[in-house]
Structures are given as structure tokens and as C-alpha cells.
């Protein structure tokens, strides 16, 4: 009987630990910077592969010789979002993930159609305003942004200053 109790306690502790571990993993994913399309996390500054597993077919594609970088600037348009890349020697890197779909929300429930007040309530007011872009910098170059016209979010996304 005593042994049964001890085993039960240990089993319960293990169960709690597994649940805690699962919660911990979920939190990390939610806080990770970038847009997760369900399969791929799209983060500015990270190498981009349009043919990677989990990337859907583009609805439009544009490339042009860069007037800043050595190589081609590319814009990949998908249903509900768009990815702009900049060239480096070893491939294309994400500069901007721009979300235009009303159904794609941030983990805090903000998206196209939200108001500035709602953005501030969720992300605070410590942003840099560039024209109508409200930019929440994560470090010296990467930021989450909301493009707000007439008090309503038109687009939001994840960008970086590429210099």
C-alpha cells in the first residue's frame, strides 16, 4: 500500500512536469519574433527558401536588380502576406514580412482592422513613428510594425533596417 502511494506520487509529479514542459515550449513559440505561417517561421534577417517545405505557392513574384545591394531584390506574394528579400552572397534573406490578411492576427489578437488604441493596449506606446508606421524595435535593426491610416491598421508585419 505504502509503495503504491509513493509510485502514485512520483507518477503525478512526472505528469505535472510533462505538462509544465509543454507549456514552456508553447510560450517560446508564442514569443518568437516573426510570422509563423503554420509550418515555417518567417523572421527578418533569416535566409529564405521559397521552395522549403511548408511554403505555399506564390500568387505573384517580382525580382529586380537592386539599386542598393549586389544582386536581386525579390518580392514573394502569398495569400494574405508578402515577403521581401535582399541578396547576400549565399542567398536571399528576409527583409520584410508584410501581412495584409484580416484573418491573420498576432499572438495578442492584433491585426488588420485593429485600432491604434488596441495596438497600444497590447504592445504599449514605446514605438518609433516613421510616417504612419508604428515600429516596435526588438533590437537595433529588427522591428514589428503596424501601418496605421485613419486610426486603423492597414498592414502589419516584421521588418528590419538593412544598411
Among 8, 10, 88, 91, which residue interacts with other proteins (rule: CB under 8 A)? 10
Among residues 52, 55, 104, 103, the alpha carbon closest in space to that of 77 is found at 55
- Per the CB < 8 A criterion, the answer to whether 136 and 97 are in contact is no
In the complex with other proteins, the residue whose CB is nearer, 38 or 124, is 124
User: Taking CB under 8 A as the rule, does residue 137 contact other proteins?
Assistant: yes
Q: Residue 149, exposed/middle/buried by CB under 10 A (0-12, 13-18, 19+)?
A: exposed
- Per the CB < 8 A criterion, the answer to whether 47 and 29 are in contact is no
Among 4, 68, 90, 151, which residue interacts with other proteins (rule: CB under 8 A)? 68
Among 8, 12, 20, 39, which residue interacts with other proteins (rule: CB under 8 A)? 20
How many residues does the structure list for the chain? Answer: 163
Shortest gap between Cβ of 132 and other proteins (angstroms)? 5
User: Taking CB under 8 A as the rule, does residue 163 contact other proteins?
Assistant: yes
Shortest gap between Cβ of 103 and other proteins (angstroms)? 19
- Per the CB < 8 A criterion, the answer to whether 62 and 74 are in contact is yes
Among residues 82, 109, 113, the alpha carbon closest in space to that of 95 is found at 82
CA dist., res. 94 & res. 154, Å (int): 21
User: Taking CB under 8 A as the rule, does residue 81 contact other proteins?
Assistant: no
User: Taking CB under 8 A as the rule, does residue 79 contact other proteins?
Assistant: no
User: Taking CB under 8 A as the rule, does residue 142 contact other proteins?
Assistant: yes
Which x/- pattern over 91-110 shows residues binding other proteins (rule: CB under 8 A)? ----xx-x------------
Amino acid at each position: 500500500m505504502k509503495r503504491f502511494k509513493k509510485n502514485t506520487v512520483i507518477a503525478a509529479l512526472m505528469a505535472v512536469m510533462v505538462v509544465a514542459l509543454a507549456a514552456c515550449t508553447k510560450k517560446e513559440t508564442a514569443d518568437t519574433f516573426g510570422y509563423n505561417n503554420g509550418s515555417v517561421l518567417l523572421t527578418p534577417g533569416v535566409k529564405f527558401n521559397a521552395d522549403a517545405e511548408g511554403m505555399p505557392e506564390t500568387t505573384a513574384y517580382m525580382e529586380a536588380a537592386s539599386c542598393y545591394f549586389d544582386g536581386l531584390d525579390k518580392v514573394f506574394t502569398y495569400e494574405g502576406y508578402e515577403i521581401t528579400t535582399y541578396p547576400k552572397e549565399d542567398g536571399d534573406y528576409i527583409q520584410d514580412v508584410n501581412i495584409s490578411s484580416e484573418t491573420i492576427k498576432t499572438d495578442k489578437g492584433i491585426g488588420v482592422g485593429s485600432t491604434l488604441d488596441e495596438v497600444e493596449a497590447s504592445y504599449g506606446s514605446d514605438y518609433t513613428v516613421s510616417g504612419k508606421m508604428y515600429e516596435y524595435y526588438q533590437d537595433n535593426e529588427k522591428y514589428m510594425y503596424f501601418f496605421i491610416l485613419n486610426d486603423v491598421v492597414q498592414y502589419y508585419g516584421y521588418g528590419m533596417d538593412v544598411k
